[in-house]
Amino acid sequence: MPVSVKICGLSDRAGLDAAVAAGARYVGFVFFAKSPRAVSVETAAALAVEVPPGIAKVALVVDADDTTLDEIVARVPLDMLQLHGRETPARVAEIRARHGLPVMKAVGVASEADLPMLDAYAAVADQILVDAKPPAGAALPGGNGLAFDWRLIAGRRWSVPWMLAGGLTPENLAEAVARTGARQVDVSSGVESAPGIKDAVRIGAFLTAAHG
Ligand SMILES: O=C(O)c1ccccc1N[C@@H]1O[C@H](COP(=O)(O)O)[C@@H](O)[C@H]1O
């Protein structure tokens, strides 16, 4: 069965076109100033209107306040919010109710001790994103190109749909899917030629691996 792919951190038309042409199911725009993939509301809005129907447009935010979220949601046509910070389950529920958009909550995994949080967030979010926990002191809470030990979640399932993320590449995707059983995956660094620069060839190779 093919795996659905989210290409995250798109910031220009070339990257977006490559993701669409290759068959991405989701495209992501990063609203986090410290990220090399950060986009303005204006840029995201201009890109989002070019996304064909059937491809979900996702805004990635990190501990965003209501004012920031209100502006993004008002100006960018979106299908989902991805919460990639330290948002509590209560805050996830609040954002979901306030904006009327499906919410995907990212949870960092480094050890068995992190797994209960996946159940806690599955109770309030529409999807969960199982990502690698960032290293201590990392500037970014995600998008670091680091994988976690996929054996930690082998055979595990949650009450909502989920995506696998963290250090995925065209080269390791088949193993990641085989080990975890993921039906959806999210990638950013692994389809770049440099931080923030999407590579159309690597995007194509990633989608080929996902659909192969
Ligand atoms: O991509 C970013 O710059 C980013 C910034 C802040 C939070 C999350 C970010 N990206 C997300 O992180 C994971 C893993 O990314 P990678 O493939 O390891 O680079 C993915 O969900 C991205 O959407």
Give per-residue pLDDT as tens, 184-199.
999 999 999 999 999 9
Residue 115 vs residues 2, 85, 133, 157: alpha-carbon distances, Å: 26, 17, 11, 11
Side chain identity at 179, as an amino acid letter? R
Name every protein residue with a CB atom under 6 angstroms from any ligand 1 atom: 8-9, 28, 30, 32, 35, 37, 60, 62, 84, 129, 131, 140-145, 165-168, 186-190
Residue 153 has pLDDT above 80, yes or no: yes
Ligand 1 centroid from CA 90, angstroms: 23
Give per-residue pLDDT as tens, 92-118.
999 999 999 999 999 999 999 999 999
Q: What is the CATH number of the domain that holds 98?
A: 3.20.20.70
Lowest-confidence pick of 33-42, 121-130, 134-143 = 134-143
The SS3 call for residue 75 is: helix
**Cα(first)–Cα(last) distance of the chain, in Å?**
9
Which residues 6+ apart lie within 8 Å of 178 measured at CB? none
8 labelled catalytic: yes
Q: State the pLDDT at residue 90.
A: 98
Q: State the pLDDT at residue 212.
A: 84
Q: Decide if the complex's ipTM is over 0.85.
A: yes
Cβ pair 182, 176 in contact under 8 A = yes
Distance from C-alpha of 210 to C-alpha of 25, rounded to nearest angstrom: 11
Residue 42 vs residues 72, 80, 135: alpha-carbon distances, Å: 9, 18, 32
**Of the residues 8, 17, 79, 186, which is catalytic?**
8
Give per-residue pLDDT as tens, 22-67.
999 999 999 999 999 999 999 999 999 999 999 999 999 999 999 9
Q: State the pLDDT at residue 113.
A: 97
Q: State the pLDDT at residue 2.
A: 86
Q: Which atom of ligand 1 is the closest one to the Cα of 189?
A: 19
Q: Which domain holds residue 41?
A: 4-211
Distance from C-alpha of 87 to C-alpha of 93, rounded to nearest angstrom: 10
- Counted domains in the chain: 1
The better pLDDT of the pair 134, 212 is held by 134
